[in-house]
Amino acid sequence: MKLLAIVAHPDDADIFCGGTIAKHADRGDTVTIAHMTKGEYGGFDTDRETVAETRAEEARRSGDELGAADVTFLGFPDGRIEYSLENRLEIVETIREHDPDLILTHYREDMHPDHRVTSRLVTDAYYMASLPLVETEYEPCDPDNVYCFGKPTSTFEPTTYVDISGYENRKAAAIDHHESQVAFLEEHGGIDAEFDNLIEGVAAENATLGKKTGVNSAEGFLALHEQANDYLG
C-alpha cells in the first residue's frame, strides 16, 4: 500500500500523524511526506532561506526516523499558500506522481491559514486526480480516501483512530529532530498553549485519544468519506 501525507510545514507530519506513518512504514507500506513549504517563517534567523534549509534538513532526518520512503518539498511560500486553480492542479500533479492508496492532510477548519488552504487544495485535488480530461504530466489515479488530522484547538472530532502504542518514543524522536522549530514554538507559540511543552503536549493528546479508544496511545483522523476500513491501523 502507498500512503501520501501532504502537510503544510516541516514537523506537521510528525506532530499529527508520525505514529501512523511509522506504523505503516514498519509493515512495508510506502510512505511519502510532501511538504507544501519549507517553513521559512518559523525560525529565529532573520534570513528566511537559511531557516528554510535548516527546516528542510530537519524534516529529512525526521522522515528517516519514521521510515518514510521519500520526503519532498513542493515550493509553496510559508504563510502565504493561496487557493487557486493553478495551485490545485499542482497538487493534482503531486497526487498523480505518487499514485497513493490513501492521502493524509490537514483538517479544513484548523486555525492555521496554511493548514486550512492545504486541506482545501488537497481534498479538491483528490477529486480531480481521477478525471482523465484533467491533463497533467502524470496519468490519472484514484486514491481510496483522504484522512484529515487536526489539533485540539480546532473543532476537529476524529472518526477513525490509529493505535500507535509502542510508537510513542519514535514519534517523539521524530519531532525532536525539528530542533530549531521546537525551540521556536516553545518561545513563540502564542495562543497555541500546547507549544509550551511541545513533545509532552503531543504525547498527552495521543494518550487522551488512546484512553478514549481503549489503547495506550492513538492518533485521530476524519475520513473525507466513510467506507469499509481494512487498514490505516
CA angle, 116 as apex, 183 and 140 as ends, to 5°?
A: 115
**Grid cell of 99 as nine digits:** 499514485
Residue owning grid cell 535548516: 54
Segment 134-145, tens digit of pLDDT:
999 999 999 999
Q: Hey, what CATH class is 2-223 in?
A: alpha beta
Among the residue ranges 103-117, 189-203, 218-232, the one predicted with the least confidence is: 189-203
111, amino acid identity: M
Q: What is the DSSP string of 64-90?
A: HHHT-SEEEE--PPTT-----HHHHHH
Give whole-number Cα distances, 125 to 4, 91, 95, in Å.
Answer: 13, 6, 8
Which of 68-77, 147-156, 193-202 is the most confident on average? 68-77
Q: Domain residue spans in the chain?
A: 2-223
DSSP class of 118: H
Among the residue ranges 21-35, 84-98, 129-143, 192-206, the one predicted with the least confidence is: 192-206
How far is the C-alpha of 220 from the C-alpha of 209, rounded, in Å? 7
Phi, psi of 162 (to 5 degrees): -110, 125
Nearest 10 degrees: CA dihedral of 225, 170, 167, 191?
A: -60
Shortest CA distance to 217 belongs to which of 170, 185, 176?
170
Average confidence (pLDDT) over 6-17 = 95
* pLDDT of 94 higher than 90: yes
Sheet containing 145-149, strands listed edge to edge, beginning at the edge strand earlier in sequence = 70-73, 30-35, 2-7, 102-106, 145-149, 218-223, 160-163
More confident residue, 65 or 48: 65
The answer to whether 95 and 129 are in contact (CB under 8 A) is yes
Shortest CA distance to 12 belongs to which of 104, 92, 74?
104
pLDDT for 47 equals 76
Average confidence (pLDDT) over 68-95 = 96
Confidence band, pLDDT 50/70/90 cuts, at residue 39: confident
Q: What is the DSSP string of 45-69?
A: -S-HHHHHHHHHHHHHHHHHHHT-S
pLDDT for 38 equals 92
Segment 163-202, tens digit of pLDDT:
999 999 999 999 999 877 766 666 655 444 445 678 888 9
pLDDT for 117 equals 97
Average confidence (pLDDT) over 137-165 = 90
pLDDT for 111 equals 85
Confidence band, pLDDT 50/70/90 cuts, at residue 227: low
Kindly state the percentage of the chain with pLDDT values over 90: 74
Kindly state the percentage of the chain with pLDDT values over 70: 87
